[in-house]
C-alpha cells in the first residue's frame, strides 16, 4: 500500500464548492441552536500536548448541552470512567475542542468548534442537575466555527434504521475488560446495566 501525499489528494478530490466553504459559520445561528437543543448525544474531540487526539461520547437528556449565546456552549460532565483524557487535553493541551452533535432520526449532523475551559463553580453545577445529580464539572466552549454535515454518512450506515443488533451478540463490557486485562470479576450485561442506572 502506498501512502498518499498532499499533491495526490488534489488529483482524487474535486475542490469544495463555494457553498460548502460558506456553510462554515463563525457563530451558532437559529438552525444550529435548534439542532443542539434537540440533541441528546455528541462526540467531544480534543487534542493533547503531544499531538494525540481524544474523542469521547457525551450524552444526557435532550438539550443537555446549553446554548448560552451565539458563541458559547456549556456542557455538563456526568459520571464516567475517570480517565478524564478529554479534560486533561483541555487544561494541558491545545484547548481546542470540536463537538459533533447527533439527533436521532435526522441524518445530518452538526459540528461545533472552539476553545474550551473548565469550571467547577458550585452555582453553575447546581444549575445543571440531571438524573438527580449535579455534574462534576462544566465545559465551556468559546465557539468560533459551526457547520452542518450532510446526511450521506448516516444514510449509508442506516444508523437510525429500525433494525437493531441484539445486545447478546457481544459479551458485556465487564466480560470484555476482564478478558483483556484479567482484572476484576466478569459481570453479566444485566448486572452492568443495573449498575449504570445508579451512576447516570
| Pairing state between β 96-103 and 106-119 | antiparallel
In a domain, 53, yes or no: yes
pLDDT at 51 over 90: no
Same domain for 175 and 155: no
pTM of the model: 0.91
pLDDT for res 195:
85
Helix residue ranges, H only, 17-138: 18-22, 30-38, 85-92, 122-126
Cell numbers placing 36? 443542539
- pLDDT tens-place string over residues 1-34: 889 999 999 899 999 899 889 999 999 999 999 9
**C-alpha span between 141 and 112 (Å, rounded):** 9
- Indicate the number of domains in the chain: 2
Same domain for 184 and 146: no
Same domain for 94 and 43: yes
Domain enclosing residue 110, as ranges: 8-160
Same domain for 191 and 114: no
- pLDDT tens-place string over residues 68-98: 999 999 999 988 888 899 999 999 988 999 9
Same domain for 179 and 156: no
pLDDT for res 31:
98
Cβ contact 136:18 at 8 Å: no
Torsion of CA 114, 48, 40, 131, to 10 degrees: -120
Percent of the chain with pLDDT over 90: 72
Same domain for 156 and 169: no
Same domain for 175 and 134: no
CB atoms < 10 A from the CB of 16, how many? 10
Quick check: helix, strand or coil at residue 112?
strand
Amino acid at each position: 500500500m502506498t501512502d498518499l501525499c498532499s499533491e495526490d489528494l488534489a488529483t482524487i478530490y474535486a475542490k469544495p464548492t463555494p457553498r460548502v466553504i460558506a456553510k462554515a459559520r463563525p457563530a451558532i445561528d437559529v438552525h444550529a441552536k435548534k439542532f443542539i437543543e434537540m440533541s441528546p448525544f455528541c462526540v467531544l474531540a480534543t487534542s493533547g500536548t503531544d499531538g494525540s487526539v481524544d474523542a469521547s461520547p457525551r450524552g444526557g437528556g435532550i438539550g443537555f448541552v446549553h446554548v448560552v449565546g451565539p458563541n458559547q456552549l456549556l456542557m455538563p460532565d456526568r459520571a464516567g470512567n475517570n480517565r478524564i483524557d478529554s479534560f486533561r487535553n483541555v487544561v494541558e493541551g491545545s484547548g481546542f475542542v470540536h463537538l459533533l452533535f447527533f439527533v436521532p432520526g435526522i441524518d445530518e449532523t452538526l459540528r461545533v468548534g472552539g476553545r474550551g475551559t473548565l469550571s467547577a463553580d458550585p452555582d453553575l453545577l447546581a444549575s445543571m442537575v440531571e438524573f438527580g445529580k449535579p455534574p462534576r464539572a462544566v465545559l465551556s466552549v468559546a465557539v468560533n466555527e459551526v457547520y452542518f454535515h450532510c446526511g450521506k454518512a448516516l444514510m449509508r450506515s442506516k444508523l437510525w434504521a429500525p433494525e437493531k443488533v441484539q445486545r447478546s451478540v457481544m459479551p458485556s463490557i465487564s466480560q470484555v475488560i476482564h478478558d483483556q486485562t484479567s482484572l476484576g470479576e466478569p459481570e453479566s450485561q444485566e448486572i452492568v446495566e443495573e449498575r449504570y442506572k445508579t451512576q447516570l
